Amino acid sequence: MKLLYLFTFYVFAAVSASAQTSFIFNNIDVYPTGNANVNNIVATGGRLFFRATDNSGDGVFVSNGTFAGTTPILLSDGTRVDAPIGELKGKIIFASTNKTGNNYLYSSDGTQAGTTVITQLATNFKPQKYFSWNNKLYIFNGDKLFCTDGTAGNLTAITNSAGDTLGVARYQNALGLNNDVYFIADTANAGLWKTDGTAAGTVRVWNTGTQYSWPIDLTLTALNNEVYFFAVDTGGNYQLAKTDGTAIGSSVVHKFKRSERYSGEATPTAFKGKLYYVINKYMIGNELWSTDGSTYATAMVKDIRKGSASGLSRSVLFIYKDNLYFQATDSTNSMDIYTTDGTDTGTKKITSLVTPNQTLWIQSVIPFKDRLIFWAYDSNNTGSGIFVSDLTPSGTTKLIPPNATNGNPISGFLAKSFIFFEPDSAVYFVADYIGKGYELWSVKEVNTSSILPVDKHGDITLYPNPAHHNFTIKTTTAFKTGSVTLTDVTGRIVKTEKLYNNQQTISLQGIAPGMYMADVWLDDKRSTQKLIIE
């Protein structure tokens, strides 16, 4: 039996363009009595997929973003799917064992009938990561790399032209460029490789054995149709290198001094013909550097915080409205937003999003309509949270569900699990707002006029209102799946019931008199109305 609850909360934000605009939080809780431990969120084919735990155990769920439209994925024999998932051509791919103990690679559209076998696997085939590129899915399994196009029987191990299987224990990073996927191997064939999924198209473009010692940094970035990465020479000095996908077209862009090293702060970002990254330099700290790919044009952009302290700490680089932004500080008690054109004079502080002596460390940023939504750590509230911002102080608001009890709801290791789900126009993420564990949440902006009682136009009617022992929901709308949720003034769910008919009576037994919000879902259509119980 599936236990599933949808919590809905409204948050009115100062950033709203109109008095009729607000943000709503939804919490699809697949495990109301425990920690759902949601992870591995994937949006594809107009559906949302994620891994979680419910009262029946671990599994993969498919959702359309509604309470009624969230279900666990089952194999044809009824076995529950519990495995990491990847995405290919609007479907998810996963390896799972059926009731007979056989392990298969599957493709699924989220339905039991639409879950089909690609090929049988060895019992120890347990993928750690998937990477989709150019209509192929690359599967990192242990220290081996595989490729599939999703059709029946199609799964090949990636080898070079000599037939050598490449060890890819460092599967944390892969980069797609043109027809190829770039990855790092660390066996006797160690180095940077590229593959198009065939043996003939799998070649080493940077040889750590003859060119530079291990490690090559895991960060790969594309700029001007070339791949940039950091390597370490045999003397322990960092090098910025690039490749056009051939060994002869691979070269060192810049040799850093022994006092300079790639800091790992802020993912390197390509913007308007330059690569921006953070270098830690002795007596300078972490500061922003850039390159256009030529040795003479590789240098520090600006020393933002004078002295040995770092200007960039726990920072991110992000693009917004055709400008490059980042967070930095020029003093002890500030964390400000800067923009840069790659020059000293063109690198400027534009604003602080918070009050003096408050720190806001932005961690993950995604576009949201004409603004940004990001996860950040807010020192004044001593916790993490979701913010919506147009990069002005007045246009930056922390969004918090009204019933939130946990001041630090988003763990750092899950902060990058931000998905914009286009069919729902909402941002989905994993959080623990109410102290029950990591659950699936979403936040979206709505015009409140669209959720006023719809009985004004005869679409959905709740009667009698006020109600006593029961009330009836009547609709003229045809639907396949429906539900109603009653929430009290504190945000507590008091009743959830599925709807099957165009006219259905709901019992109010055990519910105290008072004012409630009745949240009605009919497929992807929604109505929220006040219900008075006497």
Q: For residue range 456-494, what is the model confidence (pLDDT) as tens digits?
A: 335 788 999 899 899 999 988 888 888 888 877 666 678
Tokens of 116: 């089909």
Q: Which domain range does residue 513 map to?
A: 454-533
Contact 316, 372 (CB under 8 A): no
Domain assignment present for 493: yes
CA angle 381, 383, 387 (to 5 degrees): 85
Mean pLDDT of the region 238-263:
91
Closest CA to 104 of 114, 112, 115: 115
pLDDT tens digit sequence for 405-454:
888 888 766 666 789 998 888 999 999 988 888 999 999 887 655 444 44
Helices (H), 247-293: none
Residue 14: per-residue pLDDT: 41
Residue 416: per-residue pLDDT: 67
Residue 395 has what DSSP assignment? T
Q: Is the pLDDT of residue 18 over 50?
A: no
Domain assignment present for 523: yes
Q: Is the pLDDT of residue 169 over 60?
A: no
Closest CA to 49 of 83, 5, 26: 83
Contact 262, 230 (CB under 8 A): yes
| Listed range (103-112, 282-291, 355-364) with the worst mean pLDDT | 355-364
Could you report how far apart the first and last alpha carbons of the chain are, in Å? 33
Q: Is the pLDDT of residue 526 over 60?
A: yes
Cβ burial of 261 (10 Å; 0-12, 13-18, 19+) is middle
Residue 413: per-residue pLDDT: 63
Residue 451 has what DSSP assignment? G
Where b means 16+ CB within 10 Å and e means fewer, 430-464 reads bbbbbebbbbbbbbbbbebeebebbeeeeebbbee
Contact 6, 27 (CB under 8 A): yes
Residue 332: per-residue pLDDT: 65
Domain assignment present for 382: no
Most confident of 149-153, 155-159, 165-169, 456-460: 149-153
Domain assignment present for 259: no
Residue 15: per-residue pLDDT: 42
Most confident of 292-296, 363-367, 404-408, 485-489: 363-367
Q: How far is CA 188 from CA 166, 207, 209, in A?
A: 9, 10, 8
Please state the domain count of the chain.
Answer: 1
520: domain CATH number is 2.60.40.3080
Residue 450: per-residue pLDDT: 47
Task: List strand residue ranges (DSSP E) for 225-302, in order.
Answer: 226-232, 238-243, 250-255, 260-262, 269-271, 274-281, 285-291, 299-302
Q: Is the pLDDT of residue 19 over 50?
A: no
Q: Alpha-carbon distance 315 to 266, whole Å?
A: 5
Domain assignment present for 141: no
Domain assignment present for 492: yes
Please report how many Cα atoms fall inside a 13 Å half-sphere around the Cα of residue 330, on the Cβ side.
12
Domain assignment present for 39: no
Name the pTM for this structure. 0.81
At 451, give phi and psi (nearest 5°).
-120, 15
Domain assignment present for 515: yes
Cβ burial of 252 (10 Å; 0-12, 13-18, 19+) is middle
- Determine the distance from the C-alpha atom of residue 96 to the mean position of all C-alpha atoms in its chain, rounded to a whole number: 24
Contact 191, 205 (CB under 8 A): yes
Percent of the chain with pLDDT over 70: 86
Contact 388, 432 (CB under 8 A): no
Query: With bands split at pLDDT 50, 70 and 90, how would you rate the model's confidence at 274?
Result: very high
Q: Alpha-carbon distance 325 to 335, whole Å?
A: 13
Contact 481, 62 (CB under 8 A): no
Query: With bands split at pLDDT 50, 70 and 90, how would you rate the model's confidence at 517?
Result: confident
| Listed range (163-172, 239-248, 412-421) with the worst mean pLDDT | 163-172
pLDDT tens digit sequence for 90-145:
999 999 999 999 999 999 999 999 999 999 999 999 998 899 999 999 999 887 88
In the β-sheet with 323-328, what is the strand arrangement from edge to edge? 317-320, 323-328, 336-340, 348-351
Other beta carbons less than 10 A from residue 234's beta carbon: 8
pLDDT tens digit sequence for 301-339:
999 999 999 989 878 899 999 999 999 988 866 788 999
